[in-house]
Amino acid sequence: MDYTIYHNNRCRKSREALQYLTENNIPHKIVHYLETPLNAEELKAILNALGHRADQLLRKQEAIWKSEYKHRTLDEDALIQAMVDHPKLIERPIVSSGKKAVVARPIEKLHQFLK
pLDDT for the residue 20:
97
d(CA 73, CA 101): 27
Average pLDDT (54-79) is 97
pLDDT for the residue 35:
96
pTM given for the model: 0.93
- Compute φ and ψ for 39, nearest 5 degrees: -90, 175
Catalytic hit among 4, 11, 81, 114: 11
Average pLDDT (87-109) is 96
Q: Cβ contacts of residue 16 below 8 Å, gap of 6+?
A: 107
d(CA 18, CA 13): 9
Q: Is 60 one of the catalytic residues?
A: no
pLDDT for the residue 91:
97
What does pLDDT average to over the chain?
Answer: 96
Task: Judge: domain 3-114, CATH 3.40.50.300.
Answer: no
